[in-house]
């Protein structure tokens, strides 16, 4: 695990090595255990290392046998032992025990087809010295980030985090207006866009080739296709989910340092922590507890008691991190700095404080239960999807939303059903409506921008089926929100977050599932996953309804955090200086946060975090 960066400068007074060193130093939190660099022609690559595997011999770059291919990478290759045996059978001699050494040797045999052979999370920079070619690649689920920039003159840079690219000389950091418009709808900027108009993320399951003046991007397939002969019967389905999930969790225990796990007390994290504890003999588990406030989604926001109970059952050393709204408030600058761009997924604050506590306890690796909902059908609204396909109903097209908590569930569902496929996809679990953003942003800023609903479509143009909404969550919401949250907030405190439920074979199995294989006819969510682990989990965990980690953001913005609204929309705020919002934005925000018919907290929090990011961006 590390942070990587590199620079290609053809005619510049600063050397590529000098620039790359600055870029790497700016992401030192991703790897405080050492740094190394490599220069070739007009290019320099570098990394900062978080030592997890092969502590003594795993320093990068890693080479092929002829040392003509050099590899820097961020992540873990979980199937490296299998790949290593295959390569050794071909006569390859390894120099280290590091999982990433297989990459260069695989390139000698398979070229760029190598990336499809890697079961792991990774951002890779491979330098082919023979052909003076740089190849960048990103993992199948999108766990590890990689950003890139190319100047009009052909200079090129890449890095694990956006702030590192700010060190690149002459970089064009023009703000991306469309990205800023989209952000309050999703709470993040959808990839491959970034907050900067001329900087992009390399898409997940893609690789890039930089050769001479040419830059090209290519996709690669998931070779880890689930090949179970049958998952048609309930028994076969349950058995296959158990096999694939256990295999993924076990593989993600690869580590020469202590491993811990997030533990909320719910189904997904309990499965991960239980299997990890059984395999390792002992692990540390972590949960967050805060004020016992009512959660508008699930009645009670705090889950620490349920987590402690599960920890007792599996015998883990449990750490309950108790925080207040004041504690979270003090973390906001750290939160937005490590997000790298405007970002307002408030549940990331919980991951941030757990990562801090884990690091203080000497834990460098944390497993997460994220991804199970998108793979096996866990979100509460999935129980209503099939009813959406049956008949028309009167409602307000375009404004139906699960955030409209002032309405009964029946009314909310009717209004969602009245909308288009895209409006429904937005209404299930996203935030700012296009009309609300038009009131908050200035007219000049919003002029000419596209609707954020453009992100919801099926390629063949047909009407969406129930399962399409889950596929959309798996391909869009999961990588952009859940996986980015785990990576950025754990790495903020030099901890590696791992997500077993997004292993390529798990994703492949999930893609095969029908609606009835995820949600039962009686509305039981993730029924097959529950059955798959019924013999190892207590009844109260198996029967517990879905309960995400929900920060009571609406309550705090009305009370302890109300001053943030005043600060963010004041005359001298960054939002006002950049003319992003109009003079009446503060009154609009106050009206929205006090509207008891709709949860607007995350919309307002998005503008607050945008303002906070801009304040840092200007310095």
137: left (phi over 0), alpha (psi -120 to 50) or beta: beta
41: left (phi over 0), alpha (psi -120 to 50) or beta: left
Instruction: State how far the Cα of 8 lies from the Cα of 208, in Å rounded to an integer.
Output: 15
Helices (H), 361-465: 372-376, 409-417, 421-429, 434-440, 443-446
Instruction: State how far the Cα of 386 lies from the Cα of 467, in Å rounded to an integer.
Output: 9
Question: Which stretches does DSSP call E strand in 171-270?
Answer: 199-201, 206-211, 214-219, 259-262
Question: Which stretches does DSSP call E strand in 67-119?
Answer: 69-77
Can you read off the two tokens belonging to residue 187? Answer: 């709470």
What does the DSSP 8-state code read for residue 437? H
Instruction: State how far the Cα of 37 lies from the Cα of 396, in Å rounded to an integer.
Output: 58
Give the pLDDT means over successive 10-residue stretches in the chain (619 positions).
88 89 96 93 94 76 96 96 97 94 97 97 97 97 98 96 96 97 98 98 98 95 89 96 98 92 92 96 90 55 75 91 92 95 96 96 96 97 87 63 92 91 93 96 96 84 89 97 97 96 98 97 96 90 70 93 97 96 96 95 98 85
Pairing of strands 365-367, 496-498: parallel
Cis amide linkage into residue 192, ω under 30° from 0: yes
Phi first, then psi: give them for residue 460, nearest 5 degrees. -90, 0
Instruction: State how far the Cα of 493 lies from the Cα of 32, in Å rounded to an integer.
Output: 10
Q: Can you spell out the DSSP letters for 114-162?
A: GGGG--EEEEEEEEETTTTEEEEEE-SS--S--EEEE-TTS-EEEESSH
Instruction: State how far the Cα of 196 lies from the Cα of 188, in Å rounded to an integer.
Output: 13
Q: Can you spell out the DSSP letters for 255-306?
A: -SS-EEEE--SSHHHHHHHHHHHHHHS--EEEEEE---PEETTTEE---HHH
pLDDT at residue 393, as a whole number? 52
| Cβ-defined contacts of 212-220 (< 8 Å, 24+) | 212/132, 213/154, 215/150, 215/156, 218/112, 220/112, 220/113, 220/115, 220/116, 220/137
Give yes or no for a contact between 60 and 47, defined as CB atoms under 8 angstroms apart.
Answer: yes
pLDDT at residue 595, as a whole number? 95
212-248 pLDDT, tens digit each: 889 999 999 999 998 888 899 999 999 999 999 999 9
Q: Can you spell out the DSSP letters for 438-492?
A: HHHB-HHHHTTPPPGGGG---TT-PPPPHHHHHHHIIIIIIIIIIIHHHHHHHHT
442-468 pLDDT, tens digit each: 999 999 999 999 999 766 677 899 999
Give yes or no for a contact between 497 and 487, defined as CB atoms under 8 angstroms apart.
Answer: yes
Instruction: State how far the Cα of 79 lies from the Cα of 115, in Å rounded to an integer.
Output: 12
SS3 of 29, please?
Answer: helix
Give yes or no for a contact between 336 and 24, defined as CB atoms under 8 angstroms apart.
Answer: no
pLDDT at residue 2, as a whole number? 80
CA dihedral 96, 99, 101, 105 (to 10 degrees): 130
Instruction: State how far the Cα of 426 lies from the Cα of 603, in Å rounded to an integer.
Output: 14
Give yes or no for a contact between 311 and 285, defined as CB atoms under 8 angstroms apart.
Answer: yes
Instruction: State how far the Cα of 17 lies from the Cα of 283, in Å rounded to an integer.
Output: 41
pLDDT at residue 294, as a whole number? 58
Can you read off the two tokens belonging to residue 376? Answer: 């096996």
Question: pTM for this one?
Answer: 0.95
Strand partners, 70: 63, 127
What does the DSSP 8-state code read for residue 59? P
């Amino acid at each position: 695990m590390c942070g990587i960066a590199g620079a290609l400068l053809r005619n510049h007074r600063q050397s590529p090595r000098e620039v790359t060193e600055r870029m790497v130093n700016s992401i030192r939190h991703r790897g405080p255990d050492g740094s190394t660099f490599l220069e070739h022609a007009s290019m320099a690559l570098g990394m900062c290392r978080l030592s997890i595997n092969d502590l003594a011999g795993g320093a990068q770059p890693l080479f092929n046998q002829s040392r003509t291919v050099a590899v820097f990478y961020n992540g873990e290759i979980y199937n490296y032992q299998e790949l290593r045996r295959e390569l050794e059978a071909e006569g390859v001699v390894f120099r280290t025990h590091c999982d990433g050494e297989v990459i260069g040797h695989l390139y000698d045999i398979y070229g760029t087809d190598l990336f499809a052979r890697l079961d792991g999370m990774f951002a890779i920079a491979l330098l082919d010295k023979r052909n003076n070619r740089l190849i960048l690649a990103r993992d199948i689920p999108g766990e590890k980030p990689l950003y890139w920039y190319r100047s009009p003159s052909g200079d090129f840079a890449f890095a694990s985090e956006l702030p590192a690219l700010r060190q690149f000389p002459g970089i064009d950091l023009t703000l991306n207006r469309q990205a800023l418009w989209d952000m309050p709808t999703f709470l993040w900027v959808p990839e491959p866009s970034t907050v900067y108009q001329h900087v992009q993320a390399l898409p997940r399951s893609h690789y890039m080739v930089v050769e001479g003046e040419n830059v090209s991007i290519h996709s690669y397939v998931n070779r880890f296709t689930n090949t179970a002969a049958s998952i048609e019967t309930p028994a076969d389905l349950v058995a296959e989910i158990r096999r694939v999930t256990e295999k993924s969790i076990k593989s993600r225990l690869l580590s020469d340092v202590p491993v811990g796990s997030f533990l909320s007390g719910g189904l997904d994290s309990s499965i991960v922590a239980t299997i990890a504890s059984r395999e390792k003999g002992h692990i540390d588990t972590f949960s967050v507890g805060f004020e016992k406030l009512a959660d508008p989604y699930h009645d009670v926001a705090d889950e620490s008691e349920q987590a402690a109970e599960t920890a007792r059952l599996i015998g883990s050393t449990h750490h309950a991190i108790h925080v207040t709204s004041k504690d979270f408030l003090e973390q906001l600058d750290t939160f937005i700095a490590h997000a790298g761009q405007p970002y307002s997924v408030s549940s990331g604050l919980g991951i941030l404080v757990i990562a801090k506590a884990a690091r203080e306890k000497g834990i460098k690796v944390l497993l997460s239960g994220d991804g199970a909902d998108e793979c096996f059908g866990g979100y509460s609204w999935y129980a209503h999807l099939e009813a959406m396909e049956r008949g028309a109903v009167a409602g307000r097209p375009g404004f139906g939303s699960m955030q409209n908590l002032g309405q009964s569930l029946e009314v909310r569902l009717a209004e969602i059903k009245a909308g288009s496929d895209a409006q429904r996809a937005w209404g299930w679990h996203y935030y700012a409506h296009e009309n609300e953003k038009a009131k908050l942003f200035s007219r000049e800023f919003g002029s000419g921008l596209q609707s954020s609903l453009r992100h919801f479509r099926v390629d063949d143009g047909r009407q969406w089926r129930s399962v399409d909404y889950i596929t959309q969550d798996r391909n869009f919401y999961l990588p952009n929100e859940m996986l980015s949250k785990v990576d950025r907030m754990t790495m903020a405190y030099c901890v590696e977050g791992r997500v077993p439920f997004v292993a390529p074979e798990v994703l492949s199995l999930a893609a095969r599932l029908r609606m009835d294989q995820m949600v039962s006819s009686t509305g039981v969510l993730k029924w097959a996953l529950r059955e798959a682990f019924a013999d190892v989990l207590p009844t109260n965990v198996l029967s517990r309804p879905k309960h995400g980690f929900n920060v009571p953001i609406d309550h705090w913005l009305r009370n302890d955090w109300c001053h943030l609204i005043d600060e963010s929309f004041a005359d001298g705020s960054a939002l006002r200086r950049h003319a992003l919002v109009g003079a009446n934005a503060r009154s609009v925000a106050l009206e929205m946060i006090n509207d008891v018919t709709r949860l607007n907290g995350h919309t307002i929090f998005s503008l607050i975090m945008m303002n906070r990011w801009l304040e840092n961006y200007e310095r």
